[in-house]
């Protein structure tokens, strides 16, 4: 081997070593950046959760003060009309900043768990708003929200001499509102054959024709009662909440507990979302507001099925009316997580039958939400849908498509961030709201 070959080998070896060292250093640098980004994300989530708790606490304190100033009683049976409820909301918002600091401090103290089963009894528990009052208020909010879906349809159909291009605009409007391709085609065909649309230019008759068709699509004869409210419901009646992260599932579980408390039922919450650090604390904060006990694990990352089992056993022993089990946000492409949902149900049913599985969907996600819904239906079987954030009703057509695809009704809707902004879904109110 001559000198040149030896030199070439040495050069290649040096270059290889340099590349290896550079790769190791780059990998360490990348890991440091990832760790820093993860820590920053966790800090942001913790800050957002703390801010949300403060807002909830402050709004409730302000609501109590506003109710006292108006001289109104705080029991659900004494709720006033929709107009008075709206006025109370305005007063509460104006008093929010003054009450924020003291109420937030009290909330932080009351949320500290002392055992695996925690129940924080506040000296003056809040009285949730009744279902009837909520529906009146939320109907007005829907009518005042940005909802081009129904208005756009009416504006097209009220034209003189509808052209083929106009009918295409109708179908496009329905598709953009996430009504779904099949349902959109069906609705367009029915509107084309309605004499009130094609044979007259009276806006009142056009509106009535559109209203009747939309009501038929949404469904007016569907039983939308929660199974816990039916005479044949078990006691305790078990409700499992499912849905992906970001849909407002844990918040909806807390709001649903308030809805049952307003109806005079005893409620227990099970914090089976053990994968998200703040989930159990968040649920505990909701429960503390209305003296609802929360069964939770004493450590993060515990087996969610064991929490569900303990919650069902405790609800059975305490003879609660309703047990609401919150679960982790499941990504539909994670088969093991979806299997975990089935395990939670099987374990719970060793103590109590499961009466209801509610899927929480973000109404603004549209057809992406539909794909999630199908996977959950296959994994655990759902009995109803809760649509959160429906005040962004430009995509309110998902009410039609989700029912058509899954064969289960929309039972509850959320139209805001307030603690009582969850109400039973009413088809007439929904259609009237989007046509307002």
Distances (CA, A) of 333 to 138, 213, 270, 279: 35, 37, 25, 22
Closest CA to 311 of 261, 264, 361, 257: 257
Share of the chain above pLDDT 90, in %: 21
The confidence score (pLDDT) of residue 114 equals 39
Q: What SS3 state is found at 270?
A: strand
Q: Is the pLDDT of residue 351 over 50?
A: yes
2 or 324: whose pLDDT is higher? 324
When pLDDT is cut at 50, 70 and 90, the band that residue 436 belongs to is low
Confidence of residue 131 (pLDDT cuts 50, 70, 90): low
pLDDT score, position 23: 78
Close Cβ partners of 385 (under 8 Å, ≥ 6 residues apart): 358, 359, 360, 361, 373, 402, 403, 406, 408, 409, 410, 411
The Cα-based distances of 338 to 186, 189, 325, 327, 350 in angstroms read 34, 39, 16, 11, 20
From the CA atom positions of the chain, what is the Rg in Å?
27
Residue 267 burial (C-beta neighbours within 10 Å; 0-12, 13-18, 19+): buried
- Give yes or no for a contact between 256 and 324, defined as CB atoms under 8 angstroms apart: yes
Check: CB of residue 331 under 8 Å from CB of residue 242: no
Lowest-pLDDT range, 27-36, 38-47, 159-168?
Answer: 38-47
Residue 350 confidence (pLDDT): 94
Residues 51-72: tens digit of each pLDDT: 666 766 665 665 545 444 444 3
> pTM for the whole thing?
0.66
Extract the annotated binding site.
Answer: 243-250, 326-330, 388-391
Backbone angles phi, psi at 155, to 5 degrees: -65, -35
**Res. 81 pLDDT band, cuts 50 70 90:** very low
Residue among 370, 373, 387 at smallest CA distance from 426: 387
Residue with tokens 């997580």: 337
| pLDDT score of 241 more than 80 | yes
Least confident range from 100-104, 232-236, 252-256, 353-357: namely 100-104
pLDDT in tens, 179-236: 888 888 888 888 888 767 776 667 888 888 888 888 998 888 889 999 999 988 899 9
Q: E strands of 144-300, at which residues?
A: 237-242, 267-272, 294-295
Token reading at 34: 């990832």
What mean pLDDT comes out for the span 1-25?
Answer: 82
Torsion sign across C-alpha atoms 57, 59, 63, 69? positive
Residue 400 reports pLDDT greater than 70: yes
pLDDT at 86: 40
Mean pLDDT of 328-340: 69
Instruction: Please say if the pLDDT value at position 325 is more than 90.
Output: yes
How far apart CA 267 and CA 292 sit, in angstroms, is: 6
CA distance 66 to 365: 35
Residue count of the chain: 436
Q: Verify cis geometry, omega within 30 degrees of 0, for the bond prior to 242.
A: no
CB 76 within 8 A of CB 98: no
339: confidence class by pLDDT, cuts 50, 70, 90: confident
The DSSP output letter for 393 is G
Give the pair of three-digit tokens for residue 70.
Answer: 């108006």
* Backbone dihedral angles phi then psi of residue 385, each to the nearest 5 degrees: -125, 140
Pick the CATH number of 127-436 from 3.20.20.70, 3.30.360.10, 3.40.309.10, 3.40.50.300: 3.40.50.300
Q: Is the pLDDT higher at 413 or at 276?
A: 413
Structure tokens at 198: 């094609």
pLDDT value of position 395: 62
Percent of the chain with pLDDT strictly greater than 70: 68
Residue 360 pairs in a beta bridge with: 386
Per-residue pLDDT at 104: 37
The pLDDT of residue 317 is: 95
State the binding site for GTP: 243-250, 326-330, 388-391
CA distance 413 to 183: 21
Most trustworthy range by pLDDT among 247-261, 312-326, 385-399: 312-326
pLDDT of residue 124: 60
**Which range among 108-122, 130-144, 172-186, 348-362 shows the weakest confidence by mean pLDDT?**
108-122
124 Rama sector, left if φ>0, alpha if ψ -120 to 50, beta otherwise? beta
Q: Which two tokens stand for residue 6?
A: 């030896």
Q: What is the mean pLDDT of the chain?
A: 76
Specify the pLDDT at position 206.
82
Range with the lowest mean pLDDT among 15-24, 235-244, 364-373, 405-414? 364-373
Q: Residue 386's pLDDT is what?
A: 92
Residue in the block written with tokens 């603690």: 419
Q: What does DSSP say about strands 322-327 and 384-388: parallel, antiparallel, or unpaired?
A: unpaired
């Amino acid at each position: 081997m001559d000198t040149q070959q030896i030199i070439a080998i040495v050069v290649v070896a040096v270059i290889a070593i340099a590349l290896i060292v550079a790769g190791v250093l780059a990998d360490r640098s990348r890991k440091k950046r990832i760790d820093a980004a993860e820590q920053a994300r966790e800090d942001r989530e913790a800050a957002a959760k703390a801010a949300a708790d403060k807002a909830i606490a402050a709004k409730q304190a302000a609501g109590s003060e506003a109710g006292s100033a108006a001289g109104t009683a705080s029991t659900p049976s004494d709720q006033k009309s929709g107009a008075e409820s709206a006025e109370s909301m305005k007063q509460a918002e104006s008093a929010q900043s003054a009450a924020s600091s003291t109420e937030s401090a009290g909330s932080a103290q009351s949320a500290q768990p002392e055992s695996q089963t925690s129940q924080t009894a506040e000296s003056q528990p809040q009285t949730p708003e009744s279902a009837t009052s909520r529906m009146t208020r939320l109907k007005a909010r829907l009518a005042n929200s940005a909802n081009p879906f129904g208005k756009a349809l009416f504006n097209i159909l009220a034209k003189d001499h509808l052209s083929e291009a106009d009918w295409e605009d109708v179908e496009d409007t329905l598709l953009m509102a996430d009504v779904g391709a099949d349902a959109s085609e069906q609705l367009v065909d029915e509107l084309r054959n309605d004499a009130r649309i094609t044979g007259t230019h009276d806006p009142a008759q056009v509106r009535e024709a559109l209203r009747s068709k939309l009501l038929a699509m949404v469904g007016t004869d569907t039983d939308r009662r929660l199974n816990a409210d039916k005479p044949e419901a078990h006691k305790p009646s078990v409700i499992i909440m499912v849905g992906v992260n970001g849909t407002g599932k844990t918040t909806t579980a807390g709001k649903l507990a308030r809805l049952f408390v307003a109806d005079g039922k005893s409620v227990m919450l099970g914090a089976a979302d053990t994968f998200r650090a703040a989930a159990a604390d968040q649920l505990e904060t909701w429960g503390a507001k209305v003296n609802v006990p929360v069964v939770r694990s004493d450590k993060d990352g515990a087996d969610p099925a064991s929490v569900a089992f303990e919650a069902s056993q405790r609800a059975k022993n305490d003879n609660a009316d309703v047990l609401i089990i919150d679960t982790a946000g499941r990504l539909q492409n994670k088969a093991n997580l979806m299997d975990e949902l089935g395990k939670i149900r099987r374990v719970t049913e060793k103590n109590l039958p499961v009466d209801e599985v509610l899927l929480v969907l973000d109404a603004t996600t549209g057809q992406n939400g539909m794909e999630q819904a199908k996977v959950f239906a296959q994994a655990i079987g759902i009995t109803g849908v809760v649509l959160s954030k429906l005040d962004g009703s430009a995509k309110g057509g998902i009410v039609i498509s989700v029912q058509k695809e899954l064969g289960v009704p929309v039972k509850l809707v959320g139209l805001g961030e307030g603690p009582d902004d969850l109400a039973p879904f009413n088809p007439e109110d929904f259609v009237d709201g989007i046509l307002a």
